[in-house]
């Protein structure tokens, strides 16, 4: 019997072979949602599970990798954020946000002068990479920049495939120059933070279908499409446009294995196509979220957010406390434009449904019959 994967074009099968997976589908490295359970479930179902490692200490990362391995022997990836430098001017704005949030911090049981959260810096990033190498993780997803040569060479020597995220053609070319084995193109439809690093986020808001083909042509690398993909038909459309695989975040957010807080999952159940908006409140860089009370309160008070990473550092303790307290009005309800299509149930069932829908869409596609 022909499996859906056998009907895919050669370039998709090439990507699967490089990643060691049966199907060219990855879950996104979603902070707060893509823990070991989700990564393991997606890998066990034949895709490439991605463990969000950016905010993990080296010990937590090693433990998380161990927990994935307890659940599956299939390949998986770790997602990290390339560190970015802040500015003095942004620090002043972030401090203003921290002062404005003092009462809220007390309400959540934090000290008014609470310690800002840790956002991965150069030292943490180097330590996280050591864990990836020591643990022999086969695939690394990098966001917010390309890898420096010293890291890229080490990873290449150990056979680690690097998947580099880009939001523009210029960034896709930077990822190629930095040694990426494939480029993840993030369309503006995507949930969570914009992953731009070369151009300001106001100039990095291209739609997914306008990015895929040009990025594949400009880099000659396999392209993994991300942003708003929640059905197999959208997966098929990305492949027809020139992608070799897809990455889905929001489509897995409500699943049993997703570590997203219940209040976040509940909001997704009522989402529509128009529920999300790009805001700077949480990350200090644009992020697509379902707007809640905290965003509205800060916007109405005209308190301008700092930049990344300072604003992110200010918000992290609030977000973690809001998660523990189940306060959906204070969480970063990150979600993409496909939020209304995110289904509950096991992540493996989501993978299976997407594959069935992909197969149905491909069956109707002359493009695939010819290639």
Ligand X SMILES: Cc1cc2nc3c(=O)[nH]c(=O)nc-3n(C[C@H](O)[C@H](O)[C@H](O)COP(=O)(O)O)c2cc1C
Which stretches of the chain bind ligand X, using CB under 6 A?
28-33, 52, 54, 79, 81, 143, 165, 186, 189-193, 195, 226-229, 248-251, 253, 334-336, 338
Nearer to ligand X, 31 or 43 (CB): 31
Q: Which residue has the tokens 């109405």?
A: 300
Only one residue has tokens 């009462």, namely: 103
Pick 186 or 206: Cβ nearer ligand X: 186
Residue with smaller CB distance to ligand X, 86 or 89:
86
Structure tokens at 164: 């580099």
Give least dist CB 233 to ligand X, A: 15
Write out the H or E segment, with its range, that includes residue 44.
helix 36-44
354 near 247, Cβ under 8 Å? no
Residue 371: CB minimum distance to ligand X, A:
26
Nearer Cβ to ligand X (32/242) = 32
Which two tokens mark 261?
């807080």
**Do 259 and 37 meet the contact criterion of CB atoms below 8 Å apart?**
yes
For ligand X, give the closer residue by CB, 228 or 348: 228
Provide, rounded to whole angstroms, the least separation between the CB of residue 31 and ligand X: 3
Q: Which is nearer to ligand X, 103 or 122 (CB)?
A: 122
Residue 18: Cβ within 10 Å count: 16
As given in the structure block, the two tokens for residue 178 are 């930095």
H/E element holding 164?
Answer: strand 161-166
CB of 55 to ligand X, least distance (A): 7
b/e map 159-184, b = 16+ CB within 10 Å: ebbbbbbbbbbebbbbbbebbbbbbb
Q: How far is the CB of 6 from ligand X (least distance, A)?
A: 26
Q: CB 99 → ligand X: shortest distance, Å? A: 26
Nearer to ligand X, 146 or 338 (CB): 338
**Distance of alpha carbon 30 from alpha carbon 91, whole angstroms:** 26
Question: What would the two tokens of residue 265 be?
Answer: 């999952």
The 10 Å Cβ neighbour count of residue 154 is 15
User: Which of 289, 266, 276, 241 is closest to 30 using CA atoms?
Assistant: 289
Side-chain-side CA neighbours of 179 within 13 Å: the count stands at 16
Q: Please, which residue, 272 or 300, has the CB nearer to ligand X?
A: 272
Min dist. Cβ of residue 142 to ligand X (A): 8
Distance in Å, CB of 189 to ligand X, minimum: 6
Structure tokens belonging to residue 208: 């997914």
């Amino acid at each position: 019997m022909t499996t859906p994967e056998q009907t895919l074009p050669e370039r998709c099968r090439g990507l699967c072979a490089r990643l060691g997976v049966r199907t060219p589908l990855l879950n996104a490295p979603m902070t707060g949602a893509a823990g070991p359970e989700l990564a393991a479930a997606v890998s066990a179902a034949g895709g490439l599970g991605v463990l969000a490692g950016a905010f993990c200490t080296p010990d937590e990362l090693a433990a998380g990798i161990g927990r994935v391995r307890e659940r599956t022997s299939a390949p998986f990836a770790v997602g990290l954020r390339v560190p970015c430098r802040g500015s003095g001017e942004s620090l002043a704005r972030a401090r203003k946000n921290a002062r404005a949030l003092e009462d809220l911090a007390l309400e959540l049981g934090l000290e008014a002068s609470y310690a800002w959260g840790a956002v991965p810096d150069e030292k943490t990033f180097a330590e996280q990479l050591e864990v990836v190498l020591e643990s022999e993780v086969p695939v690394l997803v990098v966001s917010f920049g390309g890898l420096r040569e010293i890291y890229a060479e080490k990873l290449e020597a150990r056979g680690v495939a690097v998947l580099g995220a880009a939001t523009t053609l210029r960034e896709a070319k930077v990822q190629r120059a930095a040694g990426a084995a494939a480029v993840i193109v993030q369309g503006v439809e995507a949930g969570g933070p914009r992953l731009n690093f070369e151009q300001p986020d106001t100039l990095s808001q291209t739609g997914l279908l306008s990015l895929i083909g040009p990025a594949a042509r400009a880099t000659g690398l396999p392209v993994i499409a991300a942003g708003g993909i929640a059905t197999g038909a959208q997966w098929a459309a990305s492949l027809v446009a020139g992608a070799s695989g897809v990455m889905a975040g929001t489509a897995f957010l409500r699943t049993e294995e997703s570590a997203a807080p219940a209040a976040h999952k509940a909001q997704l159940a009522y989402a529509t196509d128009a529920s999300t908006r790009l805001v700077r409140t949480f990350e200090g860089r644009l992020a697509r979220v379902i707007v809640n009370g905290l965003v509205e309160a800060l916007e109405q008070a005209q308190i301008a957010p700092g930049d990344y990473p300072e604003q992110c550092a200010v918000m992290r303790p609030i977000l973690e406390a809001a998660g523990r307290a189940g306060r959906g009005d204070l969480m970063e309800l990150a979600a993409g434009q496909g939020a209304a299509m995110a289904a509950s149930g096991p992540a493996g069932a989501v993978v299976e449904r997407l594959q069935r829908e992909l197969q149905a869409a491909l069956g109707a596609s002359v493009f695939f019959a010819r290639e």
